[in-house]
A and B are shown apart, each in its own frame.
Chain A
């Protein structure tokens, strides 16, 4: 532990160059990959390989590392979004579809309540009016909501598609291969853009934020769920201990891949803390940027609006 701690401290005391690298701005060829220093191209490749190798065991590892709490975090994210039927969601780096499925469930239940209310109202209508409302396809179960899952990694998308088939999600879902720094979508298309535990792996965070701004409709919302900085010193030490001692071991035992989980834990430490990420989101042009700490800062949800 002491060895990792020293490296951590050494990196944090480095001057502006490292800071810019941390913020995901290209400071020349130097970037971080966990605690290593690599070039931009190398970083992209390494991260692609990491997720390629963990794709099949991704969900199992999530459950075991966070003791299942990641489900609660993702639920909180969708509750905070509070989508109404008819919303178009873009879930970036959403490989295995966790957020997408939760979104569909939420919208479906909201839609059901809406339809129940409408039916109560309709009991006073004539047959002709009821027939006409059916014509207008108002009784669609999702109310026109759609989610596009975009991921840079083919393996993750494959796992996601299999999961969707297995769980029975068919309508309102699309899978697109794309890079968060260069999204294959038109401007002003989506109502909500989410990126859950993905922005850490993006090489140029500022570009990703600019792309998010571009594809959102005016009034659209940006939501980012990500591991963040724990300020409580006691909790921070326990968290470090757990991260560096337990998680890579779990990775080796369950997924047979020590190095990917070492990268995971290091990349969390390298990611900018809450206020810095908030400033970056504001720089991309978002308004009313705010963040909410979950579990004392282990995870934070950042939210911004394109106004």
Chain B
């Protein structure tokens, strides 16, 4: 699934680049003069990083979406200097937007999740404050970006822990402890922004944002269960995710109005909810096995009765 998405992204990027190249070839003189000011600067920074490394690493350092292997290396009248080298290092608009949003996060505690924070972020990158106009004025993109970054961080953390367990350097945690630690780690990422987080939650609930925010939430819960070792293929797949989503959302809300030092009340609440979930699942399996036993008993009784009937009939 991931590989296919990556492949699609690369194909889309190649299409975009080829479109840009075609347009350049149609109006070569104009494009050379107006080649992007900001986007190229990013590539210059990227070029400075791998100073002594080979060109191979140079291709690896720009993130995915940037693979112009079939870019014709021939003479490009539209790009200045250095043959066709410049054309490979243009970052896309999305990457620039990512950089702006990341820079904007540090202004959120002061300005909230608003276009002002994005404008301040753009300023730190050397762009005009008008660049905030690229985003919606209610800050939705900033919040979604932040949530997706947190989820990525959580995934990396869980992956690292899993590697340690596989290498035998750490003990495999029991399920309830694992879930507790994962949710706690994820919620701790909210702490620097906790004052403005209620505003963010309300924006995430706007109808326009619900598909994306729901998507991010479900993929995070999925990730946690995956690293917890869940391989269920029956209905319990759904129940597990529903239960964990419930735990996560309620704990988040408790955290919003928690004023205890170090959020101890929240972690205690989390512990209790996870314990409840475990008991519930034990009870459920107990109920199931009891139910099965009862059904078997009834079946046995029915068979006995029918045998008695037939033997009586025969007699």
Contact = CB atoms under 8 A, between A and B. Distances in A.
Q: Do A and B come from one complex?
A: yes
Interface of A: 80-84, 86-87, 191-192, 210, 213, 216-221, 282-285, 287-288, 303, 305-307
Given A82-B115, A84-B119, A287-B93, A218 B34 contact: no
Given A216-B128, A219-B38, A219-B128, A303 B133 contact: yes
Nearest to B26: A283
A217 B115 contact: no
A217 B128 contact: yes
9 closest Cβ pairs, A-B complex: A219-B127, A285-B34, A219-B131, A219-B128, A221-B130, A217-B128, A191-B130, A191-B128, A220-B128
Given A218-B37, A285-B35, A307-B36, A84 B129 contact: yes
A84 B132 contact: yes
Contact of A218 (B128, B132, B133): B128
A221 B119 CA distance: 13
Contacts of A288: 93, 134
Nearest to A223: B133
B237 interface: no
Contacts of A217: 127-128, 130
B122 interface: yes
A216 B80 CA distance: 22
Contacts of A307: 36-39, 93, 96, 131
Given A82-B115, A84-B115, A221 B131 contact: yes
The B interface is mostly helix, strand or loop, or mixed, namely helix
16 contacts: A82-B132, A86-B129, A219-B128, A220-B128, A220-B131, A282-B23, A283-B27, A283-B30, A285-B30, A285-B34, A285-B35, A287-B39, A288-B134, A303-B133, A305-B133, A307-B131
B134 A306 contact: no
B123 to A, nearest CB: 9
Contacts of A305: 130-131, 133-134
Contacts of B131: 219-221, 305, 307
Given A82-B137, A219-B122, A306 B129 contact: no
B271 interface: no
Nearest to A88: B128
Nearest to B96: A307
B93 to A, nearest CB: 6
A305 B122 CA distance: 13
Contacts of B130: 81, 83, 87, 191-192, 217, 219-221, 305
Given A210-B34, A282-B23, A307-B37, 9 more contacts: A84-B119, A217-B127, A220-B131, A283-B23, A284-B30, A285-B30, A285-B31, A285-B33, A307-B38
A83 B131 CA distance: 10
Given A219-B128, A288-B134, A307-B96, A84 B116 contact: yes
B126 interface: yes
B34 A213 contact: yes
Contacts of A287: 36, 39, 93
B129 A191 contact: yes
